Amino acid sequence: MSSMTGQLLEDGQAMDGEYWGRQIRQPVEYRRSVEALADLGVEAVIEVGPGAVLGPMTVLSWPEEADSAEPNVVSSMKRPSDRTPLPEDGCGFLDAVAGAYQAGLDVSFEGQFGGETRRRISIPGYSFQRQRHWVEAPKRRRTSAGHPVLGVCHESPRGELQFETEMDASEPEWLNDHRVYGQVITPGALYGTMAVSALAANGNGRSSTPMDRGPGILTVEDLQLHSPMVFGESGSDDGEETEGRQVQFVLDEADPRTPARFEIYSRGPGDNGWTLHAEGLACTEAVGPEAADSVDLDSLKAGLEPKDISEFYRSRTSMGVELGASFRTLRALWAAGGEAVGELSLPEAVDRGGIEVHPLILDGCFQVMAEARSMASSEDGVAYLPFGWERLWFTGPLPEQIVCHARLREAEEAATGIPEVLTGDLEFYDRRGAVLGGLSGYTVKRATRAALLSAAGDVDDLLYEIVWRDRPLAPGILPAEFLPRPTAVAAGSEPFSQYLAVEGVGAESRAALLSDLERLAWSFARLALDRLGWMRTAGETFDPDDLRQQLEVAPEHGRLFRRMLEMMAKAGVLEEVGEGFAVMVGSDDPLPEELPSDPTELAGWMESQYPHGATEIGLFLRSGGALAEVLVGDADPLTLLFSSGEPSAADLYLKAPVAQAANRMLGDAVAALLAEMPESRRLRVLEVGAGTGSATASVLPELPPERYDYTYTDISAGFFSEAEGRFGGAEASIDYRVLDIEIDPIEQGFDNHGYDLIIASNVLHATRYLNETLDHCRRLLAPSGHLVALENLRGQGWLDLTFGQLDGWWRFADDYRPHHALAGPDVWKRALRDSGFVESEVVGVDQTDSTQEPDRGVIVAQGPAKVSELAGVWVLAADSYGTAEYLGLELAAQNQTVVLVSDGAATDLGPLSDEPGVIRASLPLNQRQSWQALFESLPSDAALRGAVHLVSLDAQGSQVTTGQLAEDATQAQLSGLALVQGMGDADVAPTNGVWLVTRGAQVLEHEPAEGIAGSLLWGFGKVAAREAPHLKPRMIDLDSSRAAPLSDLANELLHPDDEDHIAYRTGLRQAARLARAGVGSGRPRLPDPAGEAKWLLAPDADGDLDGI
């Protein structure tokens, strides 16, 4: 279609220079062109260009005849704008393709992906994105139309305006994403937006007829929230409707000279009356409060620290405030000391629906205040909910993207240290800093679950009782005997060259690439030395450190500098002479044939020759080109590696074909190890130095679904947020923890011999002492557990000149690696053997070709089958029947030193033996000073693992007299109190806690109370847990009808779980739980009697009460 003539081009009509000359001179007939398109029945128009200009013009010019529908308009590209988010592909072309497809056009997807290579990949078997794409229809449909949040407007004879709507947990659809203590609760922001919407619908706030709002400031004052609006669950999956609530917004305009009063009520099915939720004043003012027209947003953020959005929402969840996807409106957050700035945007999935101030945006502003609040004081898991505010005002409707600035007012210190009420102020800006509104005197109040439930009228939910649940304790050190030997894994493996072939990399091409990378390293080393000003003279000798100082190379680069000189020796320019070097080729002499003169030219040739090496070559080209500047401190190696464009160092482990091949080889090794894993077994995996998660992505698909616990570690937590977004968190059985593998992991809180597999990818070589690192790995492995480590098996010059620019590359200081961080298979096997591993193999090495240097390999090493418990000291307050004696022997057999204390005159403990065993002592059990002296006499380097009180086992059962009961209770209580007080006086804290052991002190189900005296000790233990939590008090009640389970008790003491109220009955371990009365106990509940009748318990016909 010619816009010059407004007609279709004729067949054969040339669009030559003459045509375009006329096009420039003559008027554009754009409307006629569009009308001609409409006459032709055109249904789709594609605008080709850098923005959406002609497409909208086409729609505006389209004729309005009834039979001429507007076409679908697609823009091939979108110009970046501050008002719209950047498209995912950066230009919007993918959106255009999708739009064309949706319009019914034939799309050549082959052209879309032309020039790109594709390969088959393995999709993880676990839920790796965890995103639902179903459109969830609300369980209940609103019966009336009207405003999205207000509903239908009615007038009353008294001049009031009433808006009425229906709400439930799924209507509005985003309401189900706002939960407090598990209950769906209306957000406080909704009440404010209802008032603003009522003002907008009612003009200036005085007219009784809804109309378009005139200019003015929308203001909501003196808002007070009375009671939360709580909803039941959103219904079952079978489509059953939920009971909603009828909601009314009442606006009283009786006095036109004052702001209009409004009230918000709701009523549910079966309610006797209406519940008042909020009230306040609303008006439209001509002039707003004094405030600057705009602010510098960067100045607001000055002095504030950026915050992790994911961590913020995790923290809110831990406080009982669960915010779903709809309410997660924060896009960026900065905070410090009672002040916060947040950038917010309405989620794409949420339809604004004509709401002037969307509740989700306003609630997001309240979230910014929550961060300011948390930065001002330690909330300790306390949830706060809106209580009201002084004044909320807006200059007009809020856009979908705003910036909020929140400042907390100073709060009076409460007696408990946690204030009951907090107040702050907020300001709202657009993305350019223009003022949109503000909120002054915003007040929040501490919220408790009980208060919410009572407000909802669910009083039964406040009643709880103690029930006992089976909670078996797994063996403390569980062997991994199901794992095959490393030799079996190696026998079924393929050489690394086969994995490279799958990635399209031939073995010869890979070898040639590594050879040319070595030559490139020589060339970059020579160029850097020349740029540093070194003039070589043939025949001279020199000391490397003297030359380093002469060229002003920083001392921390001393080992890198010597490595460069060693490369020059390999290239024939220098020759090693003892600890020094001799110059063989001067600066003015021709270079050896093996040494390229121009590294950039060589790199360009290599990029065309080795497409599979583009990542390595590109990264080395950037780092090697800046080598001279790095050596003298003029360039930052970290920036060169990670922040100077692509490819980056991360790409080397994620995108490079060699990395993908190596990670697949790692995944296959893990799969081979788990081939015979029993169905009843749960796998325990720890990854060392997980970093960006390149190895994790290959390992996770090979693990048994829903039967593993994965511990993702790194030396810092910097990678955890991104990794959790990629792999999941607790819901995916993945735990994120900081671990420095060069420090004893047991001292860092990791389980001794607690992991079946340890995964390490390109990390073990980066440690200082290989033998210590491997020993730490062995201590983490379960009996017969395996270390699986992916490593580069030979030194490479280009790696030395890239990663060697970082100090950490040269940290190695063990005897296994005198010259280079990387080690070969033989060195790894020797180091593993010296560190206590019983067998090891290196998977991926081609054993048939001894002439080839190894490339990448997976080290599979098996730990010993017999391991020992961590040594420790236990103090046992003994009973007189021998239970403590036998328990002490059981502990001593597991590498523990036991101090067995009986009642009597104080004896000197003396020095503890280095060998495990039982040491007997006596002291007055009821005297705290004696216990203090005992604990203070323990060696300072002794690891006190626990104290066990077994004195109450001497109680005489249910047939005891009153006097005997008093004596038993007194002895148990006083000795337990003295023990705990003595530990506090001695300032000791056992790692595994203080254990109070009783027999028959708890009545579980249908059993006699045999240990009444011991039940008092349980009460004392609960008090001690509150007043001395650092002692970790725990209670165990033994079965009065059975002998003490000594092996179970020893396992309990050595490997405690989170339970602290434990009972053993009929050989089973049970733990106390709080359950809602009549719900979780399993006991039958009698129905409420009809009328005024009462329940009566009566004997059976034979007069026997035993059957009741």
Assess contact for 83 and 400: CB atoms under 8 A: no
CA 771 distance to own-chain centroid? 32
162 forms bridges with which residues in the sheet? 154, 250
The CATH topology of domain 872-1076 is Rossmann fold (3.40.50)
Please state, in angstroms and rounded to a whole number, the distance separating the CA atoms of residues 392 and 400.
18
Q: Which residue has the tokens 């309401």?
A: 175
Ranges of beta strands (E only) in 226-309 are 230-231, 245-252, 260-267, 275-285, 305-306
Residues near 1072 by Cβ (< 8 Å), separated by ≥ 6? 466, 467, 468, 1061, 1062, 1063
Using DSSP bridges, classify how beta strands 917-923 and 896-903 pair: parallel, antiparallel or unpaired: parallel
The strands making up 183-185's β-sheet, listed across from edge to edge, are 230-231, 183-185, 178-180, 321-323
> Which of 610, 438, 621, 609 has the alpha carbon at shortest distance from 523?
621
The residue ranges of the chain whose pLDDT is under 70 are 66-68, 80-86, 124-145, 158, 202-215, 233-243, 253-257, 286-288, 290-291, 375-382, 411-417, 449-462, 1078-1108
Cβ atoms 785, 777 nearer than 8 A: no
Are residues 216 and 124 in contact, defined by beta-carbon separation less than 8 angstroms? Answer: no
Alpha carbons 178 and 168: distance in angstroms, whole number: 12
Beta sheet of 541-542, edge-to-edge order: 541-542, 580-583, 574-577
Token digits for 25? 């001179």
CA 864 – CA 781 distance, rounded (Å): 9
Question: Tens digit of pLDDT for each residue in 1047-1093?
Answer: 999 999 999 999 999 999 989 999 999 887 765 555 555 555 444 45
Could you give phi then psi for residue 944, rounded to 5 degrees? Answer: -75, 110
End-to-end CA distance of the chain: give it in Å, rounded. Answer: 96
Longest dimension (CA), the chain: 123
Q: What does 800-847 look like in DSSP terms, one character per residue? A: HHHGGGSGGGG---STT-SS-S---HHHHHHHHHHTT-SEEEEET--T
Query: What whole-number distance in Å separates Cα of residue 84 and Cα of residue 382?
Result: 37
**What's the one-letter identity of residue 243?**
E
Degrees to nearest 5, angle at CA 107 with 104 and 108:
165
Q: For 749-760, what is each residue's pLDDT tens digit?
A: 999 999 999 999
Under 8 Å between Cβ of 955 and 968:
yes
- The closest alpha carbon to 778, from 733, 834, 714, 729, belongs to 834
CA distance 507 to 515: 12
Looking at domain 152-234+243-456, does it have CATH number 1.10.533.10? no
Three state DSSP letters for 313-379 = HHHHHHCCEEECHHHCCEEEEEEECCEEEEEEECCCCCCCCCCCCCHHHHHHHHHHHHHHHHHHCCC
Rounded to the nearest 5°, which phi and psi values hold at 603? -65, -40
* Domain at 679-862, CATH class: alpha beta
DSSP annotation of 555: G
Position 921 scores a pLDDT of 94
Cis peptide bond N-terminal to 124, omega within 30: no
Q: What pLDDT is recorded for position 468? A: 92
> For position 415, what pLDDT does the model report?
42
CATH 3.10.129.110 positions along the chain are 152-234+243-456
Q: What is the pLDDT of residue 1075?
A: 82
Q: What is the pLDDT of residues 879-910, one digit of tens each?
A: 999 999 999 999 999 999 999 999 999 998 88
Q: Which amino acid is at 67?
A: D
Cβ proximity of 28 and 4 under 8 Å: yes
Residue 322 CA to residue 315 CA, distance in Å, equals 10
What is the pLDDT at residue 130? 62
* Backbone φ, ψ for residue 63 (5° rounding): -60, 150
Residues in the chain: 1108
CA R_g for the chain? 38
Q: List, for residues 58-75, the tens digit of each pLDDT value.
A: 877 788 775 667 788 888
Question: How would DSSP label each residue in 683-743?
Answer: EEEEEES-TT-HHHHHHGGGSPTTSEEEEEEESSGGGHHHHHHHH-SGGGTEEEEE--TTS
- Specify the DSSP element, H or E, that contains 424: strand 421-429
The whole-number pLDDT of residue 361 equals: 93
Helix (H, G, I), strand (E, B) or coil at 576: strand
For the purposes of burial, counting CB atoms within 10 Å of the CB of 749, is it exposed (0-12), middle (13-18) or buried (19 or more)? exposed
The DSSP secondary-structure symbol of 643 reads S
What confidence score (pLDDT) does residue 950 get? 95
CB atoms within 10 A of CB 72: 18
Which residues in the chain are classed under CATH 3.40.50.11460?
Answer: 872-1076
8 Å CB contact between 870 and 946: no
Q: How many angstroms separate the CA atoms of 797 and 861, rounded?
A: 28
Residues 6 or more apart whose CB falls under 8 angstroms from that of 400 comprise 345, 346, 352, 358, 361
The set of residues, in sequence order, having a beta carbon less than 8 Å from that of 603 and lying 6+ positions away, is 520, 617, 620, 621
- CA-nearest of 645, 707, 650 to 681 is 707
pLDDT at residue 138, rounded to an integer: 52
Q: How many CB atoms lie within 10 A of CB 830?
A: 15
- Location of each CATH 3.40.50.150 domain in the chain: 679-862
